[in-house]
Structure 1
Amino acid sequence: MMTVKQVSELTGVSIRTLRYYDEIGLLPPAEYTEAGYRLYDDTALERLQQILLFRELEFPLKDIVRIVSSPDFDRKKALEQQIELLELKKQRLDELISFARGIKLIGVRAVDFSAFDTSKIDEYTKRAKEKWGNTDAYREFETKKRSESENRQVMEDFMQLFAEFGKLKSGSPESAEAQAMVKKLQGFITENFYKCTDEILSGLGKMYASDGEFRENIDKAGGKGTADFTAAAIAVYCGE
């Protein structure tokens, strides 16, 4: 038997929450001491595991009470369903992570939502999608479906291009080698993210040179000065 304090320390669930779970009939203790203290056995802990998994899947407490208190509740079947739902949740998170990495590395400006209160987020999202989400580039980027390992490899290959730019930075951005690298960069973005027109490429080049985080990442890949050299080579390629 374990006391409520011991269960709290073991699971990370607060004592207050455990008491509340008892009050609503979600997790009654196995028994009480003569002094009225709650005691939990292995069966109660197994039930708590189920509860925490349902909570991780964002089930409302009232639904969890109904599920785990049902006489037809099948713990094994419930666990299988929870695993399936968690896998779907993981897949969704992987997609969001990949999307965020794309934003960070290929030049779509991330937005700081701290400037928006909750009531304005939906309005902002609608306006942002009207401006950017309906473009061919966004739709093409959004439909790129890859596994986490595939996305990691694409990003590594992408940064390798800047390492190659770094090897050329002691020369002229107008050189045939530098211009060939720009063409290679444009082709890579088109193949792996979205159609990179000269107009989009020009905008990316300006951002590579002016944005602190992009400059830092590119210079880390190719050495100091790589971001400026890449931007200059892109400007030449785009006829600026």
Structure 2
Amino acid sequence: MSDISTDGVTVGRAASDLGVTVRTLHHWDEIGLASPSLRTDAGYRLYTAADIARLQRIVVYREVGLGLDQIRAVLDDPGRDASGALREQRDEVSRSLARLEGLRAGLDRMIEAHERGVLLTAEEQLSIFGPDWNPDWPALARRRYGDSPQWQQYAERAATRTPDQWRAVTATMTALEADLAAAADAGIEPGAPEAEALVERHRAAISEYFPVSRSMQVCLGRMYEADAGFTAHYDRLRPGLTSWLRRSIDESARAHGIDPDTAVWE
């Protein structure tokens, strides 16, 4: 490299040595932040040793996050305290790190929710969901439905749900199931206004886990009857409740223009 103190260096060489682009140096020149002080006989501009020292400071300040206006003030304002500006930037970096740490924690919970389904200990699950709950069910559900959009929606909601929120969701479902059993006991016919209201509550309750359309609700009713575990659960509340709920869902679907026989999971 030629002697900067006497010859200066070209824009291209300065950019290469500093690890910036020629375009960047041209921009700094255009805005008056750092300009070459020398010219060759051919008109090429050259940076002196003092110019390079200023550029080096600019590069360092820019790397720690100072804006160009802040850098100009630090370099050119005699009353500007460089250490003060750097402290301000350090504080901003600390705030950014805190935000990023919060984001990382949220992502960790999201990842865990996608992998586990319910971010509760086995003891918390039994306390919230009741003694009939099997803490292995979320893992079984993930193996079965893990690639579905509904599992992803379920996991994203589970990632931010607190134990108290889970208790509220569970209480809503428990109250609904008691009212379903009471309606069936009272001889309410599927399709009656009272049954229609309960079907709407059922869809809203399931939608706390993932969005459920009317067509999907029909598929759930079919699954309740086909799955021995679901049938046992509902029929334990009231014999024949599984069939009553499925028929009520079907009648509600028909009332909304959906043929239960051709309903699909959307």
Same fold (TM over 0.5): no
Query: With structure 2 as the length reference, what TM-score do the two structures score?
Result: 0.40
Query: With structure 1 as the length reference, what TM-score do the two structures score?
Result: 0.44
Which structure is richer in relative contact order (CA contacts within 8 A, separation 6 or more)? Answer: 1
Q: Rg bigger for which structure?
A: 2
